[in-house]
Structure 1
Amino acid sequence: MEKSVIIEEYNPDWPVEYEREIKKIKDIFGEKILGIEHIGSTSVKGLGSKPIIDIMAGVKDLRNVDEYIGPLSQIGYEFVFHQEFPFRRFFRKGQWRAGTHHFHIYQYQSEYWNNNILFRDYLRNYPKVLEQYYQLKKDLAEKYRMDRILYTSAKAPFIEEIINKAKNELKC
């Protein structure tokens, strides 16, 4: 059953849960992880969110990730194949469309890796933009309460705009 889209107030336990999870993940990957980051809304203090911890790991070569599907399943992560995202490997902990943790693996310092960090850091550094995004999320959660795919798609233009702003500011 698909869980409805509910945006919760920021919870200071989210970073604590992230730290707990990355210890387990690092035990599996060891030095194969070149970087690991808390991303998504739960990584931004003060930003309400669906209570899903998004974890991003960077590796040298995505083709080597398949060997970790079994070990990750031992700690509750299910591999979810997305043909439309060949640049990412995705794992979910929890029920389908109602996961508690999302684990994204990208090539370290690829454009996708960097964009996730740019967006997160922009929200952390610009409180007015954080407020705009928070309001957008609440509005969209009301509009698309029972459709997570439409909810996520409707946020994309805002996210792309902020990533482009962040990139332009880096050029200056």
Structure 2
Amino acid sequence: MLGLPKDEVFLVPWTEDWTKDFLSERKRIQNKTGKFIVDIHHIGSTSVRGLSAKPIIDIAIEINNFYDGDQCVTPLKDLGYSYGGVNILPDRHYFYKGEPRTHQIHMYQTGSKFLIEQLNFRDCLRNNDKIKREYQELKMSLSESHKHNKHKYADEKTNFINSILAKNPNTKEK
């Protein structure tokens, strides 16, 4: 199941379908915007086997030059994405697809601190069952207490995420 209605927060159990959906979407994106792309990464909780998640596929697209993102707007619109611009989240182009929302793209320049943090946190969750369980419990609790406030849900995960990143020396900007 994919799709999270606006202003709702709920989690669903992890499914292999999320990996398949990411791989399919990655291929579509690569075919439309490939000359600007360094790499396409599956990020967020849907990328972590066994972790419940909001049913939205988060995708990080790595580009050589931040301004190459402007060249990707029309091709991504052709794939059904809307462009949220560069002012919603720091140092990234933001795209989203569907209502209810099914996909989000965070487009970063190679070496971006935010990209590195996304990848390091994902990899930590993939490789450390204890941290993954703690994060799962936190997310479940927050999804219950903030069912209709995605910003509060996200904000209250920040301290946990930052504490994990602080322990990981690989989060430095390249």
Taking structure 1 as the reference length, what is the TM-score of the superposition? 0.91
Post-superposition offset of 1:85: 2.9
Unaligned regions of 5+ residues in structure 2, if any? none
Kindly tell me: are residues 58 and 168 of structure 1, through their superposed partners in 2, closer, same or farther at Cα, counting changes over 3 Å? Answer: closer
Indicate if the aligned counterparts of 1:136 and 1:155 stay in contact, CA closer than 8 A.
yes
What RMSD over aligned residues (CA atoms) do the two structures have, in Å? 1.8
| Alignment partners' CA distance in 1, 2:171 and 2:69 | 34
Which residue pairs with 1:117 in the alignment?
A: 119
Indicate if the aligned counterparts of 2:120 and 2:170 stay in contact, CA closer than 8 A.
no
Kindly tell me: are residues 3 and 85 of structure 1, through their superposed partners in 2, closer, same or farther at Cα, counting changes over 3 Å? Answer: closer
Q: Does 2:63 match 1:66?
A: no
Give SS of 2:111's match. Answer: coil
| Alignment partners' CA distance in 2, 1:126 and 1:42 | 16
Residue of structure 2 aligned with 1:104, choices 98, 103, 106: 106
Post-superposition offset of 1:108: 1.2
Residue of structure 2 aligned with 1:17, choices 10, 21, 30: 21
Which residue pairs with 2:167 in the alignment?
A: 165
Indicate if the aligned counterparts of 2:91 and 2:108 stay in contact, CA closer than 8 A.
yes
Post-superposition offset of 1:84: 5.1
| Alignment partners' CA distance in 2, 1:17 and 1:140 | 26
Unaligned regions of 5+ residues in structure 1, if any? none
Which residue pairs with 1:131 in the alignment?
A: 133
Residue of structure 2 aligned with 1:52, choices 56, 59, 63: 56
Alignment coverage as a number of residue pairs: 168
Matched AA of 1:149: H
| Alignment partners' CA distance in 1, 2:112 and 2:86 | 18
| Alignment partners' CA distance in 2, 1:22 and 1:168 | 25
Post-superposition offset of 1:81: 2.4
Post-superposition offset of 1:8: 0.4
Give SS of 2:102's match. Answer: strand
Percent identical among aligned pairs is 35
| Alignment partners' CA distance in 2, 1:148 and 1:27 | 32
Question: Any idea what the Cα deviations from partners look like across 1:77-129, whole Å, max 9, x if unmatched?
Answer: 1001252534100100112xx41001110011221111111000000111010
Which residue pairs with 1:94 in the alignment?
A: 98
Indicate if the aligned counterparts of 2:117 and 2:171 stay in contact, CA closer than 8 A.
no
Matched AA of 1:75: L
